[in-house]
Amino acid sequence: MAASPAGDSEADGDSGPAGVPGWLRLLVTAAGQMVVPARLRPPVAGGRAAAVLILFGPGAAGPDLLLIQRSAELRDHPGQPAFPGGSIDAADGGPVEAALREAAEETGVDPAGVEVLGVMPELYIDRSGFRVTPVIGWWRDPSPVAPGDAAEIAAVHRVPVAELASPANRVMIRYPNGQGGPAFRVSGLLVWGFTAMVLDRLLALGGWERPWDSGLLTDLTAEEWPAGWPRPGS
């Protein structure tokens, strides 16, 4: 089991190059070898190549993760909290470059302050058809962040990892398509869908998951209902 990311520096072990915590180095190794769950497994062919940046940083309340909240007006995943990211352009050269570029455009993150540590296996978002490569990084020199384009990004958040790991903030919800899946109610957000599935796996891989009631399926509240999804009975 990896050391807790919410622990002190001594508990987490000595930092490596660029001050990367020991627990994060262990997580990157485990995440790179992750067995992809069936519901996130890409098809043999098809789909659009994309990348997201899973950026851990030194927060005031312990390590945190950078999340964006997408605009409710977007076509793909409107209103959802997510990792910064987007399509891989031909000029990017690959997922790492795409993830850093998108994070800079969406949040103002300075790529020069990010230490890229590794990538996870390619994952698939069935609803939008994206084949996503998650890129894991350490924010060795945090820069101020804010929505880059209000038409695309409603808000930017740094969410403490300890809050994500807290059983009080974890829930299984019934998605609008009838399926159930993990979700997190943190920092005034409901994190669900693809992002929540990845976070759920990262907590388990890092050895940070604490017992919580994953067998109780709850419905979304009216306020949490995703923009663009048909309402029940409509």
Return the HEC string of 154-168.
EEEEEEEHHHHHCHH
- Mean pLDDT confidence for 150-169: 92
Comparing 80 with 185, which gets the higher pLDDT? 185
Provide the 8-state DSSP code for 187: T
Burial of 22 (0-12, 13-18, 19+ CB in 10 A): middle
**Tens-digit pLDDT profile for residues 95-152:** 999 999 999 999 999 999 999 999 999 999 988 899 999 999 999 999 999 999 877 8
Instruction: Report domain extents, the chain.
Output: 9-219
**Which CATH number does 9-219 carry?**
3.90.79.10
Q: At what angle do helices 22-32 and 193-205 cross, to 10 degrees?
A: 110
Q: Is the pLDDT of residue 199 over 90?
A: yes
| Predicted local confidence at residue 184, as pLDDT | 96
First to last CA, the chain: 47
- Mean pLDDT confidence for 77-85: 82
Comparing 3 with 94, which gets the higher pLDDT? 94
Distances (CA, A) of 122 to 48, 58, 68, 125, 189: 11, 27, 21, 10, 26
| Predicted local confidence at residue 10, as pLDDT | 34
Is 10 in a helix, a strand, or coil? Answer: helix
Distances (CA, A) of 194 to 17, 22, 183, 221: 31, 27, 10, 19
**Tens-digit pLDDT profile for residues 8-38:** 333 344 444 448 999 999 999 999 999 999 9
| Predicted local confidence at residue 152, as pLDDT | 82
